[in-house]
Structure 1
Amino acid sequence: MNLRPLACALALSLIAGLASPPADAQKKRAAKPKAAAAASACSDFYANANADWLRSNTLLPNVGSVSALEQLGARSRQQQLDLLDAASKAPQGNVQRLLGDFWASGLDEAAVERDGAQPIAPLIGRIDAIKSAKDIPPAIAALHQVGIPVLFNFGADIDLNDFNRHIGYFAQGGLGLPDPAYYTRTDADTRALMGRYSSYVQKILALTGTPQAQLAADAQSVIDLETRIASASRPLLDLRDPRSNFGPVATNTLGKKYKRLQLDQFLKVQGVNDDTVSMANPALFAQLDNLVGSLKPAQWKAYLRWRIGDAMAPYLAKQFRDASFEFRGQVLQGLAAPPSRPQAVLDAITLAAGPMVGHEYAARYLPAATDKRAEEIAAKVRDALGQALDRDTRFSAAAKAEAKAKLDALKIEVGTPNRDLDYTVQPMGRGSFGSNMLIASTWRHREEMKRIGRGNADRRWDVLPQEPSLAYDITQNRLIVTAAMLQPPVFDTGKSAAWLYGSYGALVGHELSHGFDNRGRFVDAKQELRDWWTPAEASAWDALSRRVATQYGGFDYPGLGGTRVNGTQTAGEDIADIAGVELAWAAWHASEPAAAKPASEDFYKGWAALWPQHMTPEAARQRAATSVHAPGRWRANGPLLNQASFGEAFACKAGSGMQLAADQQIRLFP
C-alpha cells in the first residue's frame, strides 16, 4: 500500500522533535504531517479510478446511500417525467396521446378534488346492488377485471411443469394488512396496530358513502371477514418457495368444487380459457367458498366497498390520499412525507400503464445504433462463455454437452420485449385521473391475462423497459437488457470499445454465468426442471464457493470499522462478478486482439466506474447484514485482484494491494 498510516507520520514527527535542540523546539512550530498519498491503481483501484466521482458526490441529509447505479435509476425516472410532460403537450401517436392525457389528469389536482369519489361511484353502485350470495362472485370477478383484486389474488406465471407456458395462479390475498399474522397475534403492539387499522377502515368507508352510525359496525365486519381469510392463509415465510406454492389443477373441476365462488365463471370473465390453473392452498378456497354462502350479503358489501376505496384512495381526492398515507405510508412504512405530486402520478401510471411508458421510453431514449451495439457485445460475451465452458475443468463431458446446448439455445433481448402488446385502449381524456387509473389498469389486467396459455411464456418481461435492469431469465433461458440500462455508467457511447466491454460486457458475463452456476444447474437446455450436474460437479462448485467466501470474507466493509464482508452470504454474486470480468476481457480481446495498453486500462476503468458509492453507517450495517452483493469497493476490486491481466495493464507487482500472488488468485475459466 502507498498510503502512509497516520500513526507512522506522527511517530516520525515526534522523533524529529526529540532530535532537535530544546531552543529550536521552542522557536519552531512542529512540522505538519504529510497528507496521505492518493490511492494508486495498484493500491486501491476503486478509489483511484473513481476519485472524481467520490469527491464530487456526497450524501444528502436523510439519504442512506448514493451510487453511480442509483443515479442511473434517478436519471431514468427523470427521463420518464420528461417523456410524459412532452406527451401531454405534443403527443406523437396514439400511445403518447393516452399517456399525455393520463399525466395531465393526474397533475390537475383541482380537477382531482372536484372529482371526489366519482371515479369509483359505478363500482360502489354495483356493490350496493348485491342482494344475495349469488351476486357476490360476479362482483368479485368484475373487480379483478379492473385491476382491484379482492378476496384472493389471480395472476399469470410460469408453469413449473412446462416452462413454455404460463398458467393462472389462484393465490392468497384480499387482506388490507400485509401479513396474515397481524389478524391473529395478541401482543400489545399488534393490538395497537389493529386499532389504528380499524380507524383507517372507518375513514375509507365514510368517504365511500357509509353512514356515520354504521361505520364502527361495518369496519368490524370487514376485519372479521379478513380475519377469516387470514386464518386459512399461509405464513409469509411459506410463500418463498415456488414449488410449495405450485398446485396444478384442471380448470374443468373448479365449478363443481367451488360452486358458491363460481371460479369457472371467474375465469371466463378474465378471458382465460386454459385447461390448467395453479391452486396451492385449496383449503383456503374451500374456506372462501363457504364464506360466500354463510356470511350475510351486508358483510360482503362492507368488505367489497372497503377494498375498492382502499385500492383507489391514492388516486382520488385529498381526503382519500391523506387517510391512505397516514396509515399505509406513516404507520406501516414509516415514511415522513408523501412523494411529490409528479412522482406520485408517475408511480400510478407505472402501476397501471407501465408497458405503455416503456414502449415510448425506448423509442425516445434508445437509439437504434445503441441497441444494435449492445446486442453485438452481448453476443460476443456469449461466444466467450462458450469457449470458456470448453476449457472448464469442473465439468464432465456430459455436463459440458448440456451446458453448450443450453448456451446455443440462449436468447438475447435488448431494449424492449420481442413480443409487443396490444395498445387498443378506451380513450382517457383529461377530466378524471381516477377514471383513467381504472381504464389503464383494466387494459393492463387484460394484457396480463393474455400471457396465460401455451406459447406465451416469453410474451413479455417481468421488468419494464424504462427501469434499469440487466438480468438472466432462468426459466426462459434469455438475457434481458432494458432500454434504461443502456446509458452511463453501464453503456457510455462516448467511451471506447474496451470501456464498453469492461462495464456493460462484464455485467452481461455476470448474468450469463448464472445460467451455468448452482442455480442454473436446475434448468436444462430443454428448459426442463432437473439437476444436470453430477455430485462431482456440485462438489467442485462448493470448493470454489468456499475459496471465494474466504477471500471476500477477508475484506473490510467500508465505513464499518472492524466489520468484514460476509463472504458466505455474497459468494454466489462474487463468483458471477469474477466470471463476468473474465468473460468480458476474453470477448474484448477476441474482437480487438491487437489493442494497445491504454485500451486495457480503459477496460478496467469501465468496470470500476459501475461501483462508486457512499453510504451512511446505518445503511452500510443493513447491507452488510442482508445484501447478497459485496459493497462497491469490493465489487470493483475483488475480481481484479484475481486477474494477472489487470496487473499487467497497470504494472502492479504480485502481492501488492491490487494483485494477489499467482497461487492465491481465483480463476473460473483457466
Structure 2
Amino acid sequence: MFSTSMARRLSLAVLGLGSLVATSASAQTAKPAQKGVGIDLANMDMTANPCEDFYHYASGNWLKNTPIPAAESRWGSFNVLYGHNQTVLRGILDDAAKNAGKAAKGTNAQKVGDFYASAMDSAAIEAAGLKYLQPHLNRIAAIKDLAEMQRFLADPKAHAGSVWYGFYVAQDDKISSKYAVQMSQGGLSLADRDYYLKDDARSKAIRAAFDTYLVNTFKQLGDSEATAKANAAAVQRIETRLAKASKSRVDLRDPNANYHKMTVAEANAAFPNIDLPLILKDNQLGTAKEVIVGQPEFLKEVSAMLKDEPIADQKQYLRFHLVRSVTGALPKAFGDEAFRFSQVTSGAKQQQPRWKRMQASTDGALGEAFGQLYVDKEFTPAAKAKAKQMIENLRTAYAERIKATDWMSAATKTEALKKLNAFAVKIGYPDKWKDYSALTISRESYLNNLLAAREWATRDQLNHFGKPINRGEWDMTPPTVNAYYNPPMNEIVFPAGILQAPFYDPKADDAVNYGGIGAVIGHEMTHGFDDTGRQYDAQGNLRDWWTKEDGEKFNQRAAVVGKQFDAFSPMDSVHVNGKLTMGENLADLGGLTIAYAAFQKTPQAKAAQPIDGLTPNQRFFVSWGQVWHSNTRPEMTRQLILTDPHAPDQYRTIGPLQNMPEFYQAFGCKDGSKMMRAQAERAKIW
C-alpha cells in the first residue's frame, strides 16, 4: 500500500511500564481512569507478551475470531473500511441508476447512472451474447500481415486490452516540468513473469490452470476443442517469450536503469516492427521528437516477435486479451471461467457479488464524477483541516529529524530539507474535477460503455503532451482506501477514503490518530526519501543530489532493513523479498518514527495519563498494530510475496518496532526479547 503505479511512501515521558508487561493480567482487571475511543480492547490478546509477540498482543483476538469472507482472499482493516465505503457508494450508484432518466443528457448524473445500470443489467448482457464484442473480434480476424497489425496496434480506437507493451504520456523523470511520450514492458496475463519461467510445483499448477482458462475461453468464442487448444498454446508461447524478455520487479525499482531517452528515429531503428512514427501519428502525437523507453531490450524482442510470430497466432493473443479485458461485460460463463482461474492464485471461495465488481468498474471509468457525491456524503471540511494540521506537524518533526541526523552531511541535509519543504499536499479530493463532457454513455450496452470510457481515458492522458504540467490531477479517486507519494510531482496524496477510522477518528485521542493516519502520512513523506524516492530532487527531477559519501551511508543503512525482511518467513519455504519490499519497509520505519516524534509534542503525550490501562505511548503503538492486522489465504500469501512491494502485514507491523528504542521503553522490553533487536542489528535512518 501507499505507493503509486505511475510511477509510485526521542526522549520519552514513560511510566513504569515494565510492571505492566510483567503483570499483564492486572492490565485487564484494572479500572481505567478514562474510557478510550479508537482502540478495541476486545481485539487484543492481553495474555500475549508485547515484547515477544506484539502482533498478537495488539490483535490476537481479532485474528482468531475473524474469518476471511468466502469472496475474499484476505481480510483486514483496509477491507473493513473499504467495505463501509462500498456500502455508501452502492447507495449513491443505486440512486444514480434509478434517477438517470430524469437527469439532463450529458451530465455526470446521467453518465454515472446509465453506466452502472448497464453494468448491473446481467439479463441484457446474457441476451446480447457476443453481439457487441463481435465487431471488435471481426477487426482482429481481418488482420492479414505485419502492416495491418501495425495499423491495428497504432489505432487508439482499436481494442485488445493490454497487449505487447505500455504506451503513454507522463512526466519526464529528468525534466519534471515537461510531459513525454513513454514506452514500457507489458503484455502478460499472469501476475508476474516468474510464473511463466519457474519450474516449481506452484508455478506449474498456475500455468496449467491458465491453459485451462485459455482453452475454455476460446471454446466460448466458438472454437472447436482442437482449435482452442492450439490457440491456447500460441498465447502461452507468446507470453512466455515476453516474460523471458521482461525485467524482474526488483530490477524495475531502479528509476535510472529504466530511463532511456531516444529520438523517434533512434527508437524506430531499434524497434522497427513496432512502427513508432505510425503510433505517434495516429495518436495525434506527431510533433514528438523523443520517446522515453523503460526497457529497450524488451521492446527489441517485441519488435522481433511482431515479425517472427505467425500473424494467426498473434491474432489469438489479441482475441484473448480483448475478452480478458471486458469479461464483466460478457455472458456469465466468461466471468465464471475467469474466476475459476483466479481461485488458483487468490484462494477465494466465492466470486465477489456483481454489484461490488461493477461498482469498482464505475469507479475506474467515472471515479471523479460520482466521487463528488461520495465526498459530499462522507468527508467534512473539518476532517480535511485536521488532516492538514497533522501533516504540517509531521513535516516539522521530519525537519527536526533531518537536522539531527548524525550520518548526513550539511550539504545533503540542505537539499533534503528543501525537498521536504517542497512537498505538495493533496487531501480528500481534487480542487478541480475531471471533465467527462466528451464521453458518451447510454444504457444500450455495458460493453460499449466500457470501451468508450477507455477511449476517453486514453485520449485524456495523451492530451497532456505539449501542455503545462497539471499539478491538480489525482491518480486515485476520492473513495480509495489508500494514499501515495508521486516522485516527479514531489507530492503526497491522501484520498477521503482513508481519512476515516481506523486510520483517523475525530473522536479518538491523539495517540490513536498519530499511530494510524499519522504513520500513514509519515510513510508517504518517507517515500520521498526511500531508496527510490531519494533519487528525485525537490522539483521532482531524477537527479543525484546526495554527496557520494552520504549516498553510500544511506545504502548501508537501507541494506540492514533489507536483511531484516529477508529473514521473515510467513510460511514454509517462503521468505519476504527484502529488495522488492525495500521502499515500503523504509517508508514504514521512517513513517512510524516521524509520527511518534510528532506525537510527543502533543499535550496527551506530555501528560502521560493512561486510557483503558494503556499509556499514551502504548496506545500509539497498539493503534499501529490494529491498523495492520489481517488474515490472508495461503494462496494469496504466496502470490503477494512474489508480486507485492509490501511485506505481509504481520511483518509490516513488527518490522519497524523491532528497531525502535521508543517501543522498547513503552513496553519495558528487556535485552533478548524477540521484539528487541541487538544494538548492532538495528536499523536507523531518520
- Shorter-chain TM-score above 0.5: yes
Matched, 1:504 2:517: yes
Secondary structure of the structure 1 residue equivalent to 2:326? helix
Matched, 1:108 2:100: no
Alignment of 1:135-154 (within 5 A): 135-142=148-155, 146=159, 148-154=161-167
2:88 corresponds, among 67, 79, 88, to 79
**Does the 8 Å contact 1:162/1:528 carry over to 2?**
yes
2:653 corresponds, among 635, 642, 656, to 635
CA distance in structure 2 between the aligned counterparts of 1:255 and 1:153, rounded to whole angstroms: 16
Partner in structure 1 of residue 301 of structure 2: 284
- The structure showing larger relative contact order (alpha-carbon pairs under 8 Å, at least 6 residues apart) is 2
Alignment of 1:89-488 (within 5 A): 89-90=98-99, 94-127=107-140, 134-142=147-155, 146=159, 148-174=161-187, 204-205=217-218, 207-208=220-221, 216=226, 220=230, 223-224=233-234, 227=237, 231=241, 234-238=244-248, 240-241=251-252, 242-251=255-264, 262-273=275-286, 274-279=288-293, 280-281=296-297, 282-288=299-305, 290=307, 304-326=318-340, 328-329=341-342, 336-417=349-430, 420-453=433-466, 455-456=468-469, 458=471, 460-488=473-501
Alignment of 1:612-627 (within 5 A): 612=626, 613=629, 615=631, 618=634
Secondary structure of the structure 2 residue equivalent to 1:516? coil
Q: Displacement, 1:403?
A: 1.0
**Does the 8 Å contact 2:70/2:348 carry over to 1?**
no
Partner in structure 1 of residue 8 of structure 2: none
Structure 2 gaps of 5+ residues are: 1-20, 26-44
CA distance in structure 1 between the aligned counterparts of 2:202 and 2:661, rounded to whole angstroms: 53
Secondary structure of the structure 1 residue equivalent to 2:459? helix
**Does the 8 Å contact 2:511/2:604 carry over to 1?**
no
**Does the 8 Å contact 1:156/1:167 carry over to 2?**
yes
**Does the 8 Å contact 2:166/2:183 carry over to 1?**
yes
Answer with 300-309 or 157-166: which moved more: 300-309
The one-letter code matched in structure 1 to 2:303 is: A
Partner in structure 2 of residue 68 of structure 1: 77
**Does the 8 Å contact 1:146/1:441 carry over to 2?**
no
CA distance in structure 1 between the aligned counterparts of 2:244 and 2:565, rounded to whole angstroms: 37
Answer with 652-661 or 525-534: which moved more: 652-661
Answer with 381-390 or 298-307: which moved more: 298-307
Secondary structure of the structure 2 residue equivalent to 1:611? helix
CA distance in structure 2 between the aligned counterparts of 1:447 and 1:263, rounded to whole angstroms: 20
CA distance in structure 2 between the aligned counterparts of 1:270 and 1:102, rounded to whole angstroms: 26
CA distance in structure 2 between the aligned counterparts of 1:307 and 1:407, rounded to whole angstroms: 43
The one-letter code matched in structure 2 to 1:329 is: S
**Does the 8 Å contact 1:260/1:290 carry over to 2?**
yes
CA distance in structure 1 between the aligned counterparts of 2:173 and 2:83, rounded to whole angstroms: 35
Q: 1:599–1:394: structure 2 CA closer, same or farther, 3 Å change rule?
A: farther
CA distance in structure 1 between the aligned counterparts of 2:314 and 2:566, rounded to whole angstroms: 55
**Does the 8 Å contact 1:611/1:633 carry over to 2?**
no
The one-letter code matched in structure 2 to 1:484 is: G
Structure 1 gaps of 5+ residues are: 6-35
- Structure of larger gyration radius: 1
Partner in structure 2 of residue 533 of structure 1: 546
Q: 1:337–1:235: structure 2 CA closer, same or farther, 3 Å change rule?
A: farther
Q: Displacement, 1:418?
A: 5.4
Q: 1:119–1:598: structure 2 CA closer, same or farther, 3 Å change rule?
A: farther
Partner in structure 1 of residue 4 of structure 2: none
Secondary structure of the structure 2 residue equivalent to 1:118? coil
Structure 1 residues 463-487: Cα deviation after superposition (integer angstroms, max 9, x where no partner): 4432211333333222121221100
The alignment's C-alpha RMSD in Å is 5.1
The one-letter code matched in structure 1 to 2:90 is: L
**Does the 8 Å contact 2:514/2:599 carry over to 1?**
yes
Q: Displacement, 1:104?
A: 1.7
Answer with 49-58 or 101-110: which moved more: 49-58
Secondary structure of the structure 2 residue equivalent to 1:609? helix
**Normalised TM-score (structure 1):** 0.75
Q: Displacement, 1:462?
A: 4.0
The one-letter code matched in structure 2 to 1:85 is: D
**Does the 8 Å contact 2:398/2:594 carry over to 1?**
yes
Q: Displacement, 1:112?
A: 1.0
Q: 1:64–1:583: structure 2 CA closer, same or farther, 3 Å change rule?
A: same
Answer with 84-93 or 509-518: which moved more: 84-93
**Normalised TM-score (structure 2):** 0.74
**Does the 8 Å contact 1:353/1:444 carry over to 2?**
no
Answer with 612-621 or 144-153: which moved more: 612-621
